[in-house]
Chain A
Amino acid sequence: MRPVKVERQAAFVLHSRPYRETSLVVEAITRDYGRMALVAKGVRRPRSAMRGVLMGFQPLEITWSGKGDVVTLHNAEWQGGQPLLQGRALLCGYYLNELLINLLPREDAHEQLFEHYSTTLQTLSASETHDAAFFSAALRRFEKRLLGELGYGLMLAHDTSGQPIAADIRYLYEMESGPRIIADSSASAGTISGQTLLDMDAESFDNPVTLIESKQLMRSLMAFYLNGRQLHSRRLFEELADL
């Protein structure tokens, strides 16, 4: 049971939308209470103290009270220390938020996931000089841990028959079951090399082939768990690539 009043809880705003004339409904991820919805009354007034604080990707401490699905936010304080996300890092941040909003059930506490989300944002925000590969690696790590936390952990060390993954064999990753050896070992569409699986297991994304193949695998896994829901942030990535 969640207490009626919770003070100074570590949190990040995932999204907010206008509510009534001057308020917001804030979707947030908190360290101890998971994802929740809070009403922030009057924060869209020009002189509201919380107006500029309730910004996504910034570490906050929030205080709320109430029972039920939507509680009342009383206070939010910026914890500092993290530059604002810019450029590509910002788009990656939106992608993380969209995954959490779509896949993480409300009020399901995942302290480790919260920490990992926080670390990923730090990585992204400190990365102004890094290239696309750097961002991809950060996203793949997050996706892998997210699936693990949600109970959809990937099978990366053994194949479906229980044999250890071999680097030079190709596999077909079957949803909710794992990598299955395929007879034809050519790099056909939808298959993945044993090396990529092992690299993903070790969270090592230095190899360009690993980066490409893990992106394809994660994309089909995410599509599977998103169950038809489309991600706006992914579309934005594509629109940017099409310029």
Chain B
Amino acid sequence: MSATLESLIEALRCLPGVGPKSAQRMAYHLLQHDREGAARLGFALDSAINRIQHCERCNTYTETSVCDRCQSDRRDTSVLCVVETPVDLNMVEQTQAYNGLYYVLMGRISPLDGFGPRNLRLEQLVARASDGLVKEVILATNFTNEGEATAHFVSELLKRQGLKVSRIARGVPVGGELEFVDSGTLAQALRERRRLES
């Protein structure tokens, strides 16, 4: 096998879930059937690596040092929503129920994988949340054990800075008929029930 081909296959293996077999298949596919696509991929990867950086304020991906959202004057600067990933940020944005700003952790604490707080840029989060404008930090990490561990650590960290911290609620989904809701969700919704105002 040519050394160039070999290094392409090796390079493709950096993708998650791609082993030697599928890397080889991908390489042959690109060379055999889609050289144009391969060129585009190469170019796109190259420019992404060179241009995309982390926003100084919210830590998400951006091409400028501060992203458009963080620069916008139509955003409520008093609330900061902490999410695990840019995908989660997009999900919260899609609700159109939130007009505050964000901080993207770019990961989560996963103790048994050896992924701890030191692997997240938490100093940057503390600095961001202590800008004097933020009145409340909303933790919107996942409702998994890892998301919960992350929320716990981050809330302890921020509370020590004198910040007000809240956690998004969980419960039965909108339009969710009890008959079809999984029992774990229903159990948690019962525990976290709230009193109806009279």
In the assembled complex, the CB of B88 is this many whole angstroms from the nearest CB of chain A, namely: 14
Binds A, one of B45-53, B93-101, B107-115: B107-115
Q: Answer whether A240 and B145 are a contact pair too, CB < 8 Å, given A78-B183, A83-B191.
A: no
> What residues on B are CB-neighbors of A67 within 8 Å?
none
From the candidates A21, A83, A236, A243, name the one contacting B109 in the complex (CB within 8 A). A236
From the candidates A17, A21, A91, name the one contacting B111 in the complex (CB within 8 A). A91
From the candidates A55, A93, A232, A243, name the one contacting B116 in the complex (CB within 8 A). A232
Tally B residues with Cβ within 8 Å of A.
Answer: 27
Task: Indicate if B148 sits at the interface (CB-CB under 8 A).
Answer: yes
Are B112 and A101 in contact (CB-based, < 8 A)? yes
Tally A residues with Cβ within 8 Å of B.
Answer: 35
> What residues on B are CB-neighbors of A84 within 8 Å?
143, 145, 148, 188
From the candidates B19, B112, B148, B182, name the one contacting A233 in the complex (CB within 8 A). B112
Interface centre among A58, A91, A101 (most CB of B within 10 A): A91
Are B111 and A58 in contact (CB-based, < 8 A)? no
> What residues on A are CB-neighbors of B111 within 8 Å?
91, 94, 98, 232-233, 236
Task: Indicate if B156 sits at the interface (CB-CB under 8 A).
Answer: yes
> What residues on A are CB-neighbors of B153 within 8 Å?
236, 239-240
Which residues of A, 73-93, contact B by the 8 Å Cβ criterion?
Answer: 78, 80-81, 83-88, 90-91, 93
Q: Answer whether A90 and B148 are a contact pair too, CB < 8 Å, given A80-B184, A83-B188.
A: yes
Measured CB to CB, the nearest residue on chain B to A81 is: B187
> What residues on B are CB-neighbors of A240 within 8 Å?
153, 156
Are B112 and A232 in contact (CB-based, < 8 A)? yes
From the candidates B114, B144, B184, name the one contacting A232 in the complex (CB within 8 A). B114
> What residues on B are CB-neighbors of A236 within 8 Å?
109, 111, 116-117, 149, 153
> What residues on A are CB-neighbors of B152 within 8 Å?
86-88, 90-91
Are A20 and B17 in contact (CB-based, < 8 A)? yes
Which residues of B, 15-66, contact A by the 8 Å Cβ criterion?
Answer: 16-17, 19
From the candidates A15, A17, A78, A243, name the one contacting B157 in the complex (CB within 8 A). A243
Q: How far is the CA of A53 from the CA of B191 in the complex (A)?
A: 18
In the assembled complex, the CB of B150 is this many whole angstroms from the nearest CB of chain A, namely: 10
Per-residue interface assignment for chain B, residues 98 to 142, with 1 indicating a CB less than 8 Å from any chain A CB and 0 otherwise:
000000000001011110111000000000000000000000000
Task: Indicate if A52 sits at the interface (CB-CB under 8 A).
Answer: yes
Are B149 and A90 in contact (CB-based, < 8 A)? yes
> What residues on B are CB-neighbors of A235 within 8 Å?
116
- Chain A interface (Cβ < 8 Å from any Cβ of B): 15, 17-18, 20-22, 52-53, 55-58, 78, 80-81, 83-88, 90-91, 93-94, 97-98, 101, 232-233, 235-236, 239-240, 243
Q: List 7 A-B contacts (CB under 8 A).
A: A15-B112, A20-B17, A57-B145, A58-B184, A78-B183, A85-B145, A236-B116
Using A57-B145, A236-B149 as known contacts, list a sample of 16 further A-B pairs with CB atoms less than 8 Å apart, ordered by residue number in A: A18-B16, A18-B17, A21-B16, A52-B184, A78-B182, A78-B183, A80-B184, A81-B187, A85-B148, A90-B145, A91-B152, A98-B112, A232-B114, A233-B112, A239-B118, A240-B156
- Chain B interface (Cβ < 8 Å from any Cβ of A): 16-17, 19, 109, 111-114, 116-118, 143-145, 148-149, 152-153, 156-157, 160, 182-184, 187-188, 191
Across the A-B interface, give the 6 residue pairs with the lowest CB-CB distance, nearest first: A21-B17, A94-B111, A87-B152, A15-B112, A233-B111, A232-B111
